[in-house]
């Protein structure tokens, strides 16, 4: 191994981490907007059918190297964090 090779790969990994960070937060912003739209119309926020469809969509487009089961586990965590953000927004809206 050359140390330069490892450093180069780590630098690429740092870039990907920041892109992931940006996308995860972009996703959270969209989830908040969806929460607002739903709240305004009194619709229930959690929609398991929609969540299932998103997981299937991800499975259909998975080209690896991660197994689909691993990806679905990761996305479920991301979905859960998004729902919690919507719930916080909802609590704040109720306090206004």
Binding site for a copy of itself (CB under 8 A): 1, 5-6, 9-10, 12-14, 16-21, 23-34, 37-38, 40-41, 43, 50, 54, 57-58, 61-66, 70-71, 73-75, 77-78, 81, 84-85
Q: Which distant-in-sequence residues (6+ apart) come within 8 Å of 59 by Cβ? A: 68, 71, 72
To the nearest whole angstrom, how small is the minimum distance from the Cβ of residue 78 to a copy of itself? 6
Rg (CA), the chain: 18
To the nearest whole angstrom, how small is the minimum distance from the Cβ of residue 96 to a copy of itself? 18
- For residue 48, with 0-12 CB atoms within 10 Å meaning exposed, 13-18 middle and 19 or more buried, which class applies? exposed
Instruction: Find where tokens 């450093």 sit.
Output: 7
Closer to a copy of itself by CB, 61 or 96: give it: 61
């Amino acid at each position: 191994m050359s140390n330069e090779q490892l450093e180069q790969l780590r630098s690429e990994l740092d870039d990907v981490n920041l892109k992931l960070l940006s996308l995860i937060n972009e996703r959270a912003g969209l989830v908040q907007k969806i929460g607002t739209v739903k709240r305004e119309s009194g619709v229930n926020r959690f929609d398991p059918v929609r969540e299932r469809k998103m997981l299937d969509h991800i499975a259909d487009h998975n080209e690896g190297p991660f197994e689909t089961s691993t990806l679905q586990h990761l996305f479920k965590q991301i979905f859960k964090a998004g729902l919690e953000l919507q719930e916080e927004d909802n609590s704040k809206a109720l306090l206004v």
